[in-house]
């Protein structure tokens, strides 16, 4: 059986013979001249059951645009749906590149899925590599701080002593109200929650043990360090980052200044000195908060509370917290300065680095606190 029909004779030749459909397109196949494509789709619409193979000859197509890719894609979907073999003929190399660019062949779908999985794996790998590189740079920065800090012992005149009181006041004096308030509230919370439990066993007097040891050994240094990280750590990252963006660091290098002893070490020294002082204030405020909670909840007198506190609280507990606060202060200032040095670009980078400095500092504070807990437990301190 042979059935030949033509739609737009100058653009399309269509015939079906023995289950083989032959199509020949001429001239222009464009979004501005879609008649041949529409006629072909209309011709095929009711004849798919009798077609086993569809041959499309594009050798006479002289002008085309993305409409040709749409037409070929539509025909490919229809042939897949009706289990018909599709054969594109007369496709020039230029046309082949054009169709490949705009249309993914069906046999490439599995490879696309594999490539998507590969892209995810590559993304994870790049993120891990970037994190490793950042930690490597931080270790190098830590080494530089250590070496140049020890060099100041031989040449203390290289240290900017006149900046230290200002940095100490800004990091310490300005933080006293918030640190004491947070310490007092944490002490009250610990005292109130502890009182509810101890009251059930008639161990009211041991509220002083619970509040005093937990505040001085753990919560006082930890809460103080987190507050200072949010204040001074973010401030240092933003300051040094802004200086880098505005080329002030390059100007200091050009003038012969070493940025590490000139900017970094005074800030580290100020925070390392101020965090233990703030920790003592937080400890005192927390103990007072626990005392008030005991008086209101258990009607525990201040004399009994303070007497028991004197028995329970030793210098080891206090100095354990102070030692940890020294390490916390170093981490806060070092991370803030390091992150500031990593700024590139403009104001957006400064914002991202400032946020990263706070998050990284808090993470390192909690991580180091866990390490200290294991070490002190092993040393029975």
| Domain CATH number, residue 8 | 3.30.750.24
Question: Are residues 45 and 143 both part of a single domain?
Answer: no
Question: Are residues 275 and 308 both part of a single domain?
Answer: yes
Q: How far apart are CA 245 and CA 226, in angstroms?
A: 27
Tell me how crowded residue 78 is: count the other CB atoms within 10 A of its CB: 17
| Residue 121: partners with Cβ closer than 8 Å, 6 or more residues away | none
Q: How far apart are CA 57 and CA 67, in angstroms?
A: 16
Last residue of a domain, one of 67, 84, 103: 103
* Integer CA distances (angstroms), 32 to 36, 63, 78, in order: 11, 11, 23
Question: Are residues 166 and 294 both part of a single domain?
Answer: yes
Question: Are residues 170 and 140 both part of a single domain?
Answer: no
Query: Positive or negative CA dihedral for 41, 46, 48, 54?
Result: negative
**Do 345 and 245 contact (CB within 8 A), yes or no?**
yes
pTM recorded for the entire structure: 0.66
- Check residue 5 and give its pLDDT: 43
- Check residue 10 and give its pLDDT: 55
Q: Residue 118 belongs to what domain range?
A: 108-154
Question: Are residues 183 and 244 both part of a single domain?
Answer: yes
| Phi, psi dihedrals of residue 26, rounded to the nearest 5° | -125, 160
Last residue of a domain, one of 103, 122, 138: 103
Question: Are residues 333 and 347 both part of a single domain?
Answer: yes
Question: Are residues 133 and 163 both part of a single domain?
Answer: no
The β-bridge relationship of strands 12-17 and 2-5 is: antiparallel
| DSSP string for residues in 157-176 | GGS-TTHHHHHHHHHTGGGH
In the DSSP assignment, the letter for residue 55 is E
* Integer CA distances (angstroms), 321 to 189, 263, 281, 282, in order: 20, 28, 12, 11
Q: Give the number of domains in the chain.
A: 3
Question: Are residues 73 and 181 both part of a single domain?
Answer: no
- Check residue 114 and give its pLDDT: 52
Tell me how crowded residue 96 is: count the other CB atoms within 10 A of its CB: 12
| Phi, psi dihedrals of residue 25, rounded to the nearest 5° | -100, 145
Question: Are residues 182 and 280 both part of a single domain?
Answer: yes
Question: Are residues 333 and 282 both part of a single domain?
Answer: yes
- Strand-pair partners of 244: none
Question: Are residues 126 and 241 both part of a single domain?
Answer: no
Question: Are residues 139 and 84 both part of a single domain?
Answer: no
Instruction: Give buried/exposed letters for 143-174 (b at 16+ CB in 10 A, else e).
Output: eebeebbeeeeeeeeebeeebbeebbebbbee
pLDDT along the chain (381 residues), means of 10: 44 78 81 77 78 82 80 82 81 79 55 65 84 86 87 80 85 89 93 86 85 91 93 89 85 82 88 93 93 86 88 89 93 91 80 89 93 88 76
| Residue 337: partners with Cβ closer than 8 Å, 6 or more residues away | 236, 237, 240, 263, 264, 267, 268
| DSSP string for residues in 299-312 | ---HHHHHHHHHHH
């Amino acid at each position: 059986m042979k059935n030949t029909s033509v739609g737009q004779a100058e653009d399309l030749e269509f015939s079906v013979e023995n289950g083989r459909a032959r199509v020949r397109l001429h001239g222009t196949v464009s979004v501005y001249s879609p008649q041949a494509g529409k006629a072909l789709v209309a011709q095929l619409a009711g004849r798919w059951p009798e077609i086993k193979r569809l041959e499309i000859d594009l050798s006479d197509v002289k002008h085309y645009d993305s409409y040709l890719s749409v037409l070929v894609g539509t025909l490919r979907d229809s042939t897949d749906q009706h289990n018909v073999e599709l054969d594109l003929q007369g496709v020039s190399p230029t046309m082949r590149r054009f169709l490949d660019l705009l249309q993914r062949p069906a046999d490439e779908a599995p490879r696309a899925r594999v490539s998507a999985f590969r892209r995810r794996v590559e993304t994870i790998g790049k993120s891990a590599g970037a994190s490793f590189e950042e930690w490597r740079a931080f270790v190098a920065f830590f080494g530089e701080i250590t070496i140049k800090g020890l060099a100041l012992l031989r040449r203390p005149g290289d240290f900017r002593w006149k900046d230290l009181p200002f940095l100490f006041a800004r990091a310490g004096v300005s933080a006293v109200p918030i640190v004491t308030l947070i310490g007092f509230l944490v002490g009250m919370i610990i005292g109130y929650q502890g009182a509810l439990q101890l009251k059930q066993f008639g161990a009211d007097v041991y509220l002083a043990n619970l509040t005093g040891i937990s505040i001085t050994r753990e919560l006082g240094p930890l809460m103080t360090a987190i507050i200072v990280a949010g204040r001074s750590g973010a401030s240092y990252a933003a300051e040094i980052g802004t200086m880098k963006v505005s080329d002030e660091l390059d100007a200091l290098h050009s003038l012969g200044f070493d940025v590490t002893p000139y900017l970094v070490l005074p800030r580290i020294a100020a925070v390392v000195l101020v965090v233990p002082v703030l920790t003592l204030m937080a400890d005192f405020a927390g103990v007072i908060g626990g005392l008030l909670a005991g008086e209101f909840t258990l009607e525990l007198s201040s004399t009994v509370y303070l007497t028991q506190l004197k028995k329970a609280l030793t210098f080891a507990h206090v100095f354990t917290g102070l030692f940890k606060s020294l390490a916390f202060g170093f981490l806060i200032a070092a991370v803030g300065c390091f992150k500031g040095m990593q700024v590139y670009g403009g104001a957006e980078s400064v914002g991202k680095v400032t946020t990263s400095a706070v998050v990284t500092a808090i993470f390192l504070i909690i991580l180091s606190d866990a390490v200290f807990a294991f070490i002190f437990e092993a040393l029975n301190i």
